Amino acid sequence: MTTQSLTDTIQQRREQILSTFHHLHANPEISWQEVQTTVYLKERMEALGLRVTTFDDCTGLVAEWGQGKPVVGLRTDIDALWQIVDGEWRANHSCGHDAHMTLIVETIETLKASGFEPKGTLKILFQPAEEKGTGALKLIEKGVCDDIEYLYGVHLRPNEEMGSGFAAPAIYNGAAQFIEGKITGVAAHGARPHQGINAIEVASAIVNGLGSVHPNPTIPATVKMTKLHAGGESYNIIPDIAEFALDLRAQTNEQMDLLLSRTQQVIEGVAAMFGATIECKLGSRMVAAEVDTDASRLLGEAILDVLGEAGLKNGPITPGAEDFHFYAVERPQIKATMLALGCDLKPGLHHPHMHFEREALLTGVEILARAIVRTFDAA
């Protein structure tokens, strides 16, 4: 297989690549409900002769091509978001997971069509529930990545980071932690607030207290209340119950540990000050990126092959979280990195009408295909 044959194969398969994207875009399914998506991907992989493993207790699948070591992995997320689109709640691919699936499927198709044979095993992880932050941990729990040595992911980047014709060999995602809480105070007549403990005032004190949380200012970090429900139909009752949610973000895992500890101290202090009960439950947590230098170097060389020096960018630093990074944190032997693919993505990720330049799919397929070839040659 020559580099020119790879380029020619991608150009010849342009309509098929776009057709794969249009199918996946038109059939979104939310986290842990990606049933038909799993079926579609299974059929595509089996048609190529890959060995496929599905699971009885969850969606997603793993496909394998070749035998023995080294084991090189590709990972894509497969779930969509649930959001209002044109006034209607529905599943919607506004984070680019339809594009990510397309890139991985068509990378395998292109390598097959070009006559490539892995000098070891190529393992493809079609991972559910990235938007919940729990899909990667589920696959790790199943042991499907225990033998992987290199692992590549991909994510479209918003236009504010990079446009079409640019790519980076890493994405430095931050860590995220979600907290759900319930405040229990004491109900009272609105004319006699001294007899009650107002759950709204307790929540307000938490918000104010979070403003005093000051971790290392050289490392980006934020904590904010993102949900608050309290009170009922009667306006003359001091509310005794409130439910809230907090969103914590930090650029490093160490900063997140500190931010979480300080947040918990604020909540405990507020509860003591008002005499209220505040019950908190830690929700999903996503770790900050831990990028491997060897994997990012190989991916960077593939970007140079396709886009030249002018198209190679430094990896963007973003507060957005991504559960891909659990693979390297939980299995330190994995050399992992993500392709940041510029594609003129506007207005932004998670916007209900997010759109991007479709031709970037061809670029992404070629970069990933060349990265896989380079990795097997180097391993």
Q: What is the pLDDT of residues 59-97, one digit of tens each?
A: 999 999 999 999 999 999 999 999 999 999 999 999 999
C-alpha distances out from residue 321 to 132, 171, 289, 331, 355, Å = 11, 10, 9, 19, 20
φ, ψ of residue 187 in degrees (nearest 5): -75, 150
C-alpha distances out from residue 292 to 119, 295, 300, Å = 22, 5, 12
Cross-strand partners of 111? none
Cross-strand partners of 28? none
Return the closest-CA partner of residue 215 out of 178, 267, 268, 252.
252
pLDDT of residue 284: 86
Within 231-281, where are the H helices?
253-274
**Calpha distance 129→59 (Å, rounded):** 9
Q: Note down pLDDT in tens along the chain; length 379 residues.
A: 556 778 999 999 999 999 999 999 999 999 999 999 999 999 999 999 999 999 999 999 999 999 999 999 999 999 999 999 999 999 999 999 999 999 999 999 999 999 999 999 999 999 999 999 999 999 999 999 999 999 999 999 999 999 999 999 999 999 999 999 999 999 999 999 999 999 999 999 999 999 999 999 999 999 999 999 999 999 999 999 999 999 999 999 999 999 999 999 999 999 999 999 999 999 989 999 999 999 999 999 999 999 999 999 999 999 899 999 999 999 999 999 999 999 999 999 999 999 999 999 999 999 999 999 999 999 8
3-state percent helix, strand, coil for the chain, nearest multiple of 5: 35, 30, 35
Q: pTM surpassing 0.85?
A: yes
Q: Give residue for tokens 């405040």.
A: 183
pLDDT of residue 2: 59
pLDDT of residue 3: 64
**In order of start, what are the domains of the chain with their CATH numbers?**
3-173+289-378 (3.40.630.10), 175-286 (3.30.70.360)
Cα 335 to chain center, whole Å?
18
